[in-house]
Amino acid sequence: MTEICFVRHGQTDWNIKKKIQGTTQTVLNERGILEARLCAIHLQAKKWDRVITSPLLRAVQTAEIINEQLRNLPITYDDCWIERDYGIATGWTYEKMISAYQAGEIHDIEENEHISKRVQLGLEKLLTLYRNERIIVISHGVTIVAALNIGLAHPLPFEKIHLQNGSLNVMKHKNNKWKVESYNELFHMNAHC
């Protein structure tokens, strides 16, 4: 059985301002660093084989903080787990982006179907390279939702689900199919904050 724990990166200042980060290189703020540390404390209760991360800096920082606690597992950087490309809407607030999108003023946002295909490729790579391992994947909200949708009987609407920073989301591959065990878990945060 292959198990993946998807971790949404820790908080950034853009998260607080509700600005769309997309593929912009933003860094963790103090709260984000704490969230990554709390994830690490929780994750060390199990044995993990490796860490895979989006190459975006906020995810890499989260992965490095978690990996320090887990005694330096192998880290792989993989573009399959990068955040959605929001095109010209990057840096805008969500309200401005939604309004402009509904008015037909934005045409360069990465489509859900493309994200789903990219994530499916990422899951296939994990199964091919690391079958029967326990893997931590540090990624981004929309990307993790796309992964979870592969393991759910009834997919979640991308726009309706908001995964919290530092949330844990677990999927297992067994009997040739993915199954979501849990998502948007924050108990490790609530116990320490």
Amino acid present at 34: L
pLDDT tens, residue by residue, 20-33: 999 999 999 999 99
Distance between CA atoms of 119 and 19, rounded to whole angstroms?
Answer: 23
Q: What is the pTM of this model?
A: 0.94
Distance between CA atoms of 27 and 30, rounded to whole angstroms?
Answer: 10
Q: With contact defined as beta carbons under 8 Å apart, do 14 and 143 qualify?
A: no
**Structural domains in the chain, sorted by start:** 2-132+141-190 (3.40.50.1240)
Q: Which residues are known binding-site members for substrate?
A: 8-15, 58, 83-86
DSSP annotation of 92 reads S
**Considering the chain, what is the average pLDDT of its residues?**
94
Distance between CA atoms of 147 and 123, rounded to whole angstroms?
Answer: 8
Write down the residue that tokens 């198990």 correspond to. Answer: 3
Residues noted as catalytic: 9, 83
pLDDT tens, residue by residue, 91-144: 999 999 989 988 989 889 999 999 999 999 999 999 999 999 999 999 999 999
Write down the residue that tokens 């989301």 correspond to. Answer: 169
Q: Which residues are known binding-site members?
A: 8-15, 58, 83-86
